[in-house]
Amino acid sequence: PYCTKEEPNQCCYGADPNRNWDFKWGVAGASSNPCSEIFKGPKAFSEVECKQTSVYQLSIVKKLKAMITLHSYSEDILYPYGYGTGVYPPDVKELKALGD
Protein backbone atom coordinates (compact mmCIF):
# COMPACT_ATOMS: atom_id res chain seq x y z
CA PRO A 1 0.00 0.00 0.00
CA TYR A 2 0.93 3.65 -0.45
CA CYS A 3 0.45 5.85 2.61
CA THR A 4 -0.16 9.58 2.77
CA LYS A 5 2.57 11.84 4.14
CA GLU A 6 0.06 13.85 6.18
CA GLU A 7 -1.47 10.80 7.85
CA PRO A 8 0.94 7.83 7.80
CA ASN A 9 -1.82 5.51 9.01
CA GLN A 10 -4.00 6.31 5.98
CA CYS A 11 -2.94 3.88 3.26
CA CYS A 12 -4.46 2.93 -0.08
CA TYR A 13 -3.63 0.37 -2.76
CA GLY A 14 -2.56 0.94 -6.34
CA ALA A 15 -2.31 3.82 -8.75
CA ASP A 16 -4.39 4.95 -11.71
CA PRO A 17 -2.90 3.02 -14.65
CA ASN A 18 -3.73 5.88 -17.04
CA ARG A 19 -1.43 8.15 -15.05
CA ASN A 20 1.38 5.71 -14.30
CA TRP A 21 3.11 5.74 -17.70
CA ASP A 22 6.49 7.39 -18.15
CA PHE A 23 5.59 9.86 -20.91
CA LYS A 24 5.27 13.27 -19.20
CA TRP A 25 4.60 11.44 -15.92
CA GLY A 26 3.09 13.68 -13.27
CA VAL A 27 3.12 16.86 -15.39
CA ALA A 28 -0.60 17.60 -14.97
CA GLY A 29 -3.93 15.96 -14.28
CA ALA A 30 -2.66 13.56 -11.63
CA SER A 31 -2.50 13.46 -7.86
CA SER A 32 0.28 12.66 -5.40
CA ASN A 33 -2.32 11.57 -2.84
CA PRO A 34 -2.29 7.74 -2.77
CA CYS A 35 -5.99 7.67 -1.88
CA SER A 36 -7.04 9.79 -4.87
CA GLU A 37 -8.74 8.21 -7.89
CA ILE A 38 -6.11 9.95 -10.04
CA PHE A 39 -3.05 8.92 -8.01
CA LYS A 40 -0.08 8.78 -10.40
CA GLY A 41 1.95 6.39 -8.25
CA PRO A 42 5.24 7.14 -6.51
CA LYS A 43 7.11 6.95 -9.83
CA ALA A 44 6.44 6.17 -13.48
CA PHE A 45 5.78 2.47 -14.06
CA SER A 46 5.56 1.75 -10.33
CA GLU A 47 2.61 -0.51 -11.15
CA VAL A 48 3.60 -3.87 -12.63
CA GLU A 49 0.64 -3.90 -15.05
CA CYS A 50 1.74 -0.64 -16.66
CA LYS A 51 5.37 -1.65 -16.86
CA GLN A 52 4.64 -5.07 -18.37
CA THR A 53 2.15 -3.62 -20.87
CA SER A 54 4.84 -1.19 -21.98
CA VAL A 55 7.44 -3.97 -22.28
CA TYR A 56 5.05 -6.00 -24.43
CA GLN A 57 4.09 -3.06 -26.66
CA LEU A 58 7.74 -2.20 -27.23
CA SER A 59 8.43 -5.82 -28.18
CA ILE A 60 5.81 -5.69 -30.97
CA VAL A 61 6.12 -2.02 -31.96
CA LYS A 62 7.13 -2.83 -35.56
CA LYS A 63 3.98 -4.92 -36.00
CA LEU A 64 1.54 -2.37 -34.53
CA LYS A 65 -0.73 -0.44 -36.86
CA ALA A 66 -2.79 1.26 -34.15
CA MET A 67 -3.29 1.21 -30.40
CA ILE A 68 -6.75 1.77 -28.95
CA THR A 69 -7.78 1.59 -25.33
CA LEU A 70 -11.37 1.76 -24.11
CA HIS A 71 -12.39 3.89 -21.14
CA SER A 72 -15.92 3.59 -19.84
CA TYR A 73 -15.60 5.73 -16.69
CA SER A 74 -16.96 8.93 -18.23
CA GLU A 75 -17.63 7.88 -21.83
CA ASP A 76 -14.98 10.24 -23.19
CA ILE A 77 -12.62 9.88 -26.10
CA LEU A 78 -9.15 10.45 -24.72
CA TYR A 79 -6.36 11.63 -26.96
CA PRO A 80 -2.72 10.99 -26.30
CA TYR A 81 -0.86 14.01 -24.93
CA GLY A 82 -3.40 14.59 -22.16
CA TYR A 83 -0.68 16.08 -19.96
CA GLY A 84 -1.52 19.68 -20.87
CA THR A 85 -4.33 21.95 -21.95
CA GLY A 86 -4.18 22.75 -25.64
CA VAL A 87 -1.48 20.13 -26.34
CA TYR A 88 -2.46 17.69 -29.08
CA PRO A 89 -0.77 14.87 -31.00
CA PRO A 90 0.19 15.54 -34.62
CA ASP A 91 -2.70 13.36 -35.89
CA VAL A 92 -5.43 14.93 -33.74
CA LYS A 93 -7.71 15.59 -36.74
CA GLU A 94 -7.56 11.92 -37.70
CA LEU A 95 -8.24 10.85 -34.11
CA LYS A 96 -11.21 13.21 -33.86
CA ALA A 97 -12.61 11.91 -37.15
CA LEU A 98 -12.36 8.33 -35.84
CA GLY A 99 -14.22 9.33 -32.69
CA ASP A 100 -17.02 11.19 -34.46
Q: What is the pLDDT of residue 34?
A: 93
10/30 Cα distance (integer angstroms):
19
What integer pLDDT is reported at residue 54 of this predicted model?
A: 95
In whole angstroms, how far apart are CA 38 and each of 16, 18, 75, 77? 6, 8, 17, 17
* Contact partners, residue 10, CB within 8 Å, separation at least 6: 3, 4, 35
- What string of pLDDT tens digits covers the 100 residues of the chain? 888 877 878 899 999 998 999 999 998 889 999 999 999 999 999 999 999 999 999 999 999 887 777 767 777 766 667 777 788 888 889 888 877 8
pLDDT at res. 80: 67
